[in-house]
A and B are shown apart, each in its own frame.
Chain A
């Protein structure tokens, strides 16, 4: 079982719809969860992070975390063509010295927002 799993997509949604991106992780000791967006040919950029069970909203983005189910999701409301990118889920993994973080990345989900 891979440490972090995501559907590779592509996930296609019409402009204005809600895009739902999902991620599962295997390490129950994981504490922090991150969503990065990566445009083709560009570097990943952080868009959201979440630590506690429940929802966290930031503008059109909502991250949802369920530690019991080892599941984290990202909702994008009012999707725009400019949201078309690969979305990477990252989960912290305790460093060998238990200080600091390492991110284990999922393979990413390609999102295509159709005008």
Chain B
């Protein structure tokens, strides 16, 4: 059963520290999204990759967040420096851009910045 794998599942870090979250999309998928979910804001799009190229990161705070896809099997989301307001669940989702049947979400990384 193909699935999107995210690591770590949980992360607690101190304010100011660097945080890196990783995502392994489903093999063969050419589209990867990063979402952030909070109680107040719901699901917010942070970044979007197609064929490893970053196409839209307008939802991401540029000063501290960065997203990359060094190869087809790995997407990363980095926060440096982290702040308490970054505490949220970060989801990665992957799919095929030429199929209009939705995207598969990973299990998420629950980040707590203290």
Contact = CB atoms under 8 A, between A and B. Distances in A.
A44 B105 contact: yes
Interface of A: 32, 34, 36, 42-46, 49, 51, 88, 90, 92, 95-97, 99-108
A104 B59 CA distance: 12
A49 B101 contact: yes
A102 B56 contact: yes
Contacts of B103: 46, 103
B104 A46 contact: yes
A99 B105 CA distance: 20
A52 to B, nearest CB: 12
A46 B105 CA distance: 9
Interface of B: 31, 33, 42-43, 45, 48, 50, 55-56, 91, 97, 100-108
B107 A34 contact: no
**Which 5 residue pairs across A and B have the least CB separation, nearest first?**
A100-B97, A105-B43, A43-B105, A46-B102, A107-B42
A107 B41 CA distance: 8
A45 B100 contact: no
Nearest to B110: A41
Contact of A32 (B55, B91, B97, B100): B100
B109 to A, nearest CB: 11
A51 B100 contact: yes
Contact of A100 (B42, B43, B50, B91): B50
Contact of B91 (A34, A43, A97, A107): A43
A45 B105 contact: yes
> Which of B33, B101, B102 is the most central at the interface, judged by chain A CB atoms within 10 Å of its CB?
B102
A95 B55 CA distance: 9
Given A88-B43, A102-B48, A103-B102, 7 more contacts: A32-B100, A46-B103, A97-B55, A101-B97, A102-B45, A103-B103, A105-B42
